[in-house]
A and B are shown apart, each in its own frame.
Chain A
Amino acid sequence: MNAHVADTHEHHGPEKGLMRWITTTNHKDIGSLYLWFSLIMFLIGGVMALIIRAELFQPGLQFVDPQFFNSMTTMHALIMIFGALMPAFVGLANWMIPMMIGAPDMALPRMNNWSFWILPFAGTLLVATLFVEGGAPASGWTMYPPLVLQTGAAFPMLIFSVHLLGFSSIMGSINIIATIMNLRAPGMTYMKMPLFVWTWFITAYLLIATMPVLAGAVTMLLTDKYFATSFFDAAGGGDPVMFQHIFWFFGHPEVYILILPAFGIVSQIIPTFARKPLFGYSSMVYATASIAFLSFIVWAHHMFTVGMPVAAELFFMMATMLIAVPTGVKVFNWVSTMWRGSMTFETPMLFAIGFVMMFTIGGFSGLMMAMTPIDFQYHDTYFIVAHFHYVLVPGAIFSVMAAVYYWLPKWTGNMYDESLGKFHFWISTIFVNILFFPQHFVGLAGMPRRIPDYSVQFTDFNMISTVGAFGFGLSQLLFVYIIIKTVRGGEKATDQVWEGAEGLEWTLSSPPEYHTFTVQPDVK
């Protein structure tokens, strides 16, 4: 029966209308769904960021009350991490992994449909908390008890939403692993896989290892609140710090889940536009694996001020500093790939280079924060906010934009508007630095994070930062415009698209057939 269904599908194109998207098991359709979903969430999360920055434009409270402000910081983070970034990477994986390894589709197409269609429900549930009694969660995305237990009616919605997001990620990851292990074209050995495939392979294991831990932690919160357990309540023999340990055991690998696929993307793009093979392919793979391993033994650097034994602090400090080594290897490899290449600077390359530079700035502040005694000064200040936004915005988000510009001609068969793309890059880069660089200064000068109002000496840098935020936010409308314009038409793209591009995806037509590689290619 199954074989029969698959058979008839192969000879037909996609179904017509809405049902195509609801019932689809096609990796390209599902990839697009993920990417559109991510874009919508990115805009919603962005509006929240602008509310935050508007309030912080000057001291005093002008627009929102403190409780709502805390809801905004919490929701902004949850939506950007779980709604925008993770789905964007899964969307790219869906589109590209089968095309890069010469597979006809993902290994588990029906589950693929599920992994996506859980997301809109999880996202709606999360956003709906804004409208319930007591307001949206306001305890920070880290959900530390006891504070999170003071959440009103939003509390169970938050927990359930996290569960759903976790299910979706785990299913997506299982699918990616199954696809990579089983559906590679003949001759596509592991050490021939494109780096994007490799980084996702490793990321998928990180997800499978850590999402259940998060699910466990939030379930314990749920029972603490409603079923009289005291996992995290000292009065009942529990330990509020234990939550932080469990959370960051998930949370630290999570930050690599958000950055490893970005490493993969950049490792695809830089060789293409340098017209030179990736430098140190195998060391890239080993560096990715070591980063993934180290990510499991550094979690407590997020909580140095929580009061740990000195020995533990020393261990976590040194393990964290060690991550600089494989990360450095990656950066050096990218620079060596560019070195003595024959470079051109189309939009994807601009975003990729922007990524390398600004991610490295975030890496530097990361190294500074790894050092426990100075982290006591940085912890929970705007210095941290600047750090993780550098690695996540001109880091991870730039990589997604690079990927979209890089593969959009392949997906749609149309070239995007190159000069608009470049313009988008430049305004994004300028504004993102105006937005986040001054936050290093206010952080060092002593401004704590997650505060709706601040003392007057921080005013000027906050004003600059807010100007940058609105500039960056508005620039993204241009991104949306460019995408829509390209989807609807434009100069036809060749199959090769980019002169220096290599890999199986470029052997397909632009746009590719609805079903590709139904006969697997031979990789030599």
Chain B
Amino acid sequence: MNKLIQIAVGMMGAAFTSGAYAAWETNLTKGVTDISHEVYDLHMLVLYVCIAIGVLVFGAMIYSMIYHRKSKGHKAATFHESTKAEIAWTIVPVFILVALAIPAAKALIKMEDSSNADLTILVTGYQWKWQYEYPEEGISFFSNLASDSREASARDSGIDPATVDNYLLEVDNPLVIPVGKKVRFLFTSNDVNHGWWVPDFAVKKDAIPGFINDMWANVNEPGIYRGQCAELCGKDHGFMPIVVIAKEESEYNEWVEQQLASAKETEAAANKTWDMASLMEQGEKVYTTSCVACHQAGGQGIPGVFPAITGSAIATGDVAGHLDTIMNGRPGTAMQAFAGQLNDADVAAVTTYQRNGLGNSVGDMVQPSDVKALR
């Protein structure tokens, strides 16, 4: 009951102090780009127009319901047309609409002009994660839902989402961009349609397999901006958030250097020969970020949708067949080709892990060099 009262009071409060605290946020964000400000202003403009028309129409209705009722002895008039009135309420709305359409068209043309960008980032949607590539800098990485959110979101996890930082809005590897630069995003998808949306940038575009869309943002203030996949993309559609960190240019450049250095390290690691324990350890990590959404934590899969790995004829059979499934996927199913997503060491590790973990015990190992040979 207390909760109910709280809710009722909160709702009234929210209506008047919109945005006083985040939980009762009732309006569109203003965002942090010039475009998002323009979009916000347009939103408020059309909202006020609607409210004004609403007051007139509902006002007339309510007045009439109060005064023109039979119980008050009101006698019905007999008029049933008025050419003048009818022309007026056809023409006046047209003018209002034109007045709304002009600024909207201007804003739209600006939003769609992604020429002369300072930086281009390719965003690829996957079931259920994002890949970010910086073609000029040579950086590429995947961005998955943060593991604490994933754990808490499991059914009956026993973890209260309120205790998780940025529940469902946190990722392992956020996208990093410089402020004050025109950043052009190219969108595509590896499997089904996704939608890349960051409300603070007023950027939402579908990522569609086989096609490339674009949109751009020029962020004014450094900060962390969060969004989510907007286009239904299957089971974990609600679990592929977007986090963008906008940094001052110097900090951004540092970040780029770091990324390039750590990519070299990983490459070196891939060339050595691994022992069983480290393969299993690394394999479990890869499995929990890349495979668990479908094949499930214990490897049991979801009957009829995603096959089990535990006891799977493929995962306990011939290594070549197992590697082939993982690297090339199964076209036409949700099983993606991981050759392009994981490096040699990770493929080797996850394959080894599937063969010797999750209730399987084949006993053999796959080395990065075996994977390299198949590329």
Contacts and interface: CB of A to CB of B under 8 A. Distances in A.
Contacts, number: 318
Interface residues of B, number: 110
B313 interface: no
Nearest to A450: B232
A305 B204 contact: yes
Contacts of A139: 232, 234
A485 B101 CA distance: 52
Interface stretch (A21-29, A374-382, A510-518): A374-382
B105 A134 contact: no
Interface string B208-229: 1111011000000000000111
For the residues of B in contact with A, the DSSP-based class is: mixed
Given A150-B333, A460-B24, A376 B39 contact: yes
B192 A150 contact: yes
A420 to B, nearest CB: 21
B25 A445 contact: yes
7 contacts: A149-B332, A235-B210, A305-B206, A335-B61, A343-B65, A373-B42, A380-B195
A340 B204 CA distance: 48
Interface in B80-103: 80-82, 85-86, 89-90, 93-94, 97, 100-101
A62 B304 contact: no
Interface of B: 3-4, 7, 10-11, 14, 22-29, 38-39, 42-43, 46-47, 50, 53-54, 57-58, 60-61, 64-65, 68-71, 74-82, 85-86, 89-90, 93-94, 97, 100-101, 104-105, 107-109, 111-112, 152-157, 159-162, 166-169, 187, 191-193, 195, 197, 199, 202-206, 208-211, 213-214, 227-239, 302-305, 332-334
Given A147-B232, A364-B50, A374-B42, A340 B304 contact: no
Contacts of A285: none
A152 B305 contact: yes
B187 to A, nearest CB: 8
A361 B11 CA distance: 19
B239 A453 contact: yes
A317 B232 contact: no
A342 B204 contact: no
A279 interface: yes
Contact of B7 (A282, A380, A463): A463
Contact of B105 (A314, A331, A380): A314
Given A61-B155, A353-B65, A446-B29, A66 B236 contact: yes
Contact of B26 (A307, A345, A441, A448): A441
Interface in A278-330: 278-283, 303, 305-307, 310, 313-314, 317-318, 321-322, 324-325, 328-329
Contact of A146 (B7, B43, B61, B209): B209
A453 B168 CA distance: 8
Given A335-B61, A448-B228, A150 B78 contact: no
